[in-house]
Structure 1
Amino acid sequence: MNEIETANLEKALEIFASSLFDNKINHFVETINMLEERIEVLEVKNKKNYLKQQDVISEFGIGHRTLKNWVSDGLKEIWLGNRVYYDQADIESYMQKYKTSNSVRG
């Protein structure tokens, strides 16, 4: 094989490798985008509007007494029979109020 053929072969291999690498990167990016979309759908699907006491306690890592303190401080409860639920929007509003009041104290 002469120098021209060797150079042409090397160039062809370089182009092939570059093309293969670009295709793998594009596939990888497409896969990541697809997974991000699926995660967003699952997060919306799994988000509950109403949480039981135990859900709130577990999600925020608090005790029953702390939850009752939050209720005393304004967090609304929804009673259905002997079960109590908390609206996720009410919890978010309460947390925002708490965040605002604490940020003033510094």
Structure 2
Amino acid sequence: MKTSYRLLLVQFAFAAAGASAAALALPQAASAAVVVVAPGAPPPVRYEPLPPPRAGYVWDHGHWRWQGDRYVWVSGHWQVARAGYHWIPGHWVAHGPNWRWIPGRWA
């Protein structure tokens, strides 16, 4: 009986170690699948002057980000250009009574 109990503990330890390793890898994979939904429309976009062109970069304009229970403004920033692609900025889309954030991406 004691031997089978030890075997069970060893099996449990290996299973827990595997689950821990999977949990460590999960945040990287899960971060790509985060869906942001806000209960109301974002405020009007703020005007930001477009900076002068910068070789090798694309300007990603500012936008409202849903944080907790309110919108917070995120200033525009430079994205490193990818050869053969163009930048599609992130934007909010009405989704029923809520609003859903579609992240910017290269296409």
Shorter-chain TM range is 0.3 to 0.5
TM-score (norm 2): 0.39
Structure with more of its chain in helix, by fraction: 1
Structure with more of its chain in strand, by fraction: 2
TM-score (norm 1): 0.39
The structure, 1 or 2, with the larger RCO (C-alpha pairs under 8 Å, 6+ apart) is: 2
